[in-house]
Amino acid sequence: MNKRILIVEDDVHISKIIKMNLNLVHYETTEAYDGYEALEAIKHGKYDLILLDIMIPRMDGFALMERIKSYQIPVIFLTAKNSVFDKVKGLKLGADDYIVKPFEAIELLARIETVLRRYGHGDSVIEFKSVKVYIEKREVTVNGDAVELTPKEFDLLVVLIKNKNIALSREQFLDKVWGGDYFGETRTVDMHIKSVRKKLNLQDYIKTIYKIGYRLEE
């Protein structure tokens, strides 16, 4: 079952962008545009995580956070308030993370994934078409048959699936798979993509994005 995320954001444009990015990677989303609407949604719905703006009408994010502590739902603050005081206050109230606007969609998805994993809601098995990836065992199957990947090919595949339908640059692949201190050529990414495509029969699904990088596309 897909994870359910409540987006509490009074800026409709920003809320829709967040919703679109989360839906692309198959999170189920509900939107609320003020504190009271969010509180009602939390009382009557079931959510795996809440993205909570602080400066929202009728009841601000800090006040809402106080009201929903008993629900024990992970909360990430998304806010333009960037002072240390506000960050400390948010975290002391029990938030699991604090992201200052503007932010990249890929960063938001990574933070969500980290928080969900911390609460035991992370996916130990992820899938794409006939490909199944067993994260903890680091095993991959296609139609039930095991396929041998190198460690970097495995990590690359996980990044592709977790960011399905999102275009990633070669530099982003290098950062996520090889680490921020890697100084090799971006051609390394091309070679590994080629190998993953061939081994897993994903030639039709891993799209080359001209002058950018790659996107796993359904």
- Examine the pLDDT at 103 and tell me if it is beyond 70: yes
Two tokens, residue 194: 């080629």
Q: What is the pLDDT of residue 180?
A: 64
Domain boundaries, the chain: 4-120, 125-216
CB 209 within 8 A of CB 215: yes
pLDDT, tens digit, 9 for 90 and up, residues 76-102: 999 888 898 888 888 888 899 999 988
Q: Which of 160, 115, 23, 161 is nearest to 172 (CA)?
A: 160
CATH of 4-120, picked from 1.10.3720.10, 1.20.950.20, 3.40.50.2300, 3.40.50.10540, is: 3.40.50.2300
User: pTM of the prediction?
Assistant: 0.67
Chain centroid, CA 97 distance in Å: 13
Query: Would you place residue 1 in the very low, low, confident or very high pLDDT band (cuts 50, 70, 90)?
Result: low
Closest CA to 51 of 83, 17, 24: 17
Sheet containing 97-100: give its strands across. Answer: 28-32, 4-8, 49-52, 75-79, 97-100
- pLDDT confidence tier of residue 126, bands split at 50, 70 and 90: confident
- Residues 155-210 pLDDT 10s: 999 999 988 888 999 988 888 888 766 677 778 999 999 999 999 999 999 999 99
Q: 134 and 125 in contact (C-beta within 8 Å)?
A: yes
CA distance 207 to 13: 28
Average pLDDT over every residue of 117-124 = 76
The count of residues in the chain is: 218
Nearest CA among 59, 71, 78, 62 for reference residue 19: 78
Q: Which of the listed CATH numbers 1.10.10.10, 3.30.70.20, 3.40.50.2300, 3.40.30.10 matches domain 125-216?
A: 1.10.10.10
Is 156:202 a contact under the CB 8 Å cutoff?
A: no
